[in-house]
Amino acid sequence: MKDTEKKPLQKVCLICAKGTIEDVYATLVMANGAVMEGIETKVFFTFFGLDGITKKFMNHLHTGVVGNPAMRMPGGLPFPTLLGTIPGVESGVSAMMRSQMGKLDIPSVSEFLEMITAGGGEIFACKLAVDMFKLKKEDLSDEVKDIITIGQFYELADGDRTQIIFT
């Protein structure tokens, strides 16, 4: 094989550091897509991304409405940041987003995690963040394989055909 020939991706390692619907789902969609393509997949949840694997929060994530320049109102008008500061607006927008996702048959977070692990993907929690937020293994989804350091996660990513994606 020539050095200029494209080598197929064999492994993808995703890092999820934010806990909004849009960030957690971006990670889960990419991880599930990789699993479906037969690519070895490992996902590492850290800092606020832990909400995506914490039993208490994972199926009740919110949309970031304050300071989100991509947020639009029906009709395409920009969503005024000031509206996001009104009590209940973020919850309402998040409920609308979850409703739209439900209409498209997009799986819940817990279902996505099950799909990823059933396909051979692995889910990990960041030890530093778990300790910082005083969580325990039992607080996390049953799909979480282990609580590891970022160094241990990087060890899992060894190889020249691995792509690391930070969401």
- Residue 54 belongs to a domain with what CATH number? 3.40.1260.10
* Residue appearing with tokens 């325990």: 136
For residue 3, the model assigns a pLDDT of 61
Q: Rounded to an integer, what distance in angstroms lies between the CA atom of residue 3 and that of residue 86? A: 57
Contact yes or no for 19/51 (Cβ under 8 A): yes
**Does residue 1 fall inside a structural domain?**
no
Condensed to tens digits (0 to 9), the pLDDT of residues 98-119 reads 888 999 999 999 999 999 999 9
Contact yes or no for 143/58 (Cβ under 8 A): no
Contact yes or no for 14/43 (Cβ under 8 A): yes
Residue segments in the chain with a per-residue pLDDT below the cut of 70: 1-4
**Does residue 127 fall inside a structural domain?**
yes
**Does residue 2 fall inside a structural domain?**
no
Condensed to tens digits (0 to 9), the pLDDT of residues 30-57 reads 999 999 999 999 999 999 999 999 999 9
**Does residue 6 fall inside a structural domain?**
no
**Does residue 5 fall inside a structural domain?**
no
Domain count for the chain: 1
**Does residue 72 fall inside a structural domain?**
no
CA gyration radius, the chain: 17
**Does residue 117 fall inside a structural domain?**
yes
Q: Rounded to an integer, what distance in angstroms lies between the CA atom of residue 122 and that of residue 106? A: 20
**CA distance from start to end of the chain:** 33
For residue 61, the model assigns a pLDDT of 93
**Does residue 96 fall inside a structural domain?**
yes
Q: Which tokens hold the place of 17? A: 């550091």
Q: What does the H/E/C string look like for the chain? A: CCCCCCCCCCEEEEEECCCCHHHHHHHHHHHHHHHHCCCEEEEEECHHHHHHCECCCCCCCCCCCCCCCCCECCCCCECCHHHHHCCCHHHHHHHHHHHHHHHCCCCCHHHHHHHHHHCCCEEEEEHHHHHHCCCCHHHECCCEEEEECHHHHHHHCCCCCEEEEEC
Instruction: Please give the residue range of the domain that contains residue 18.
Output: 11-67+78-166
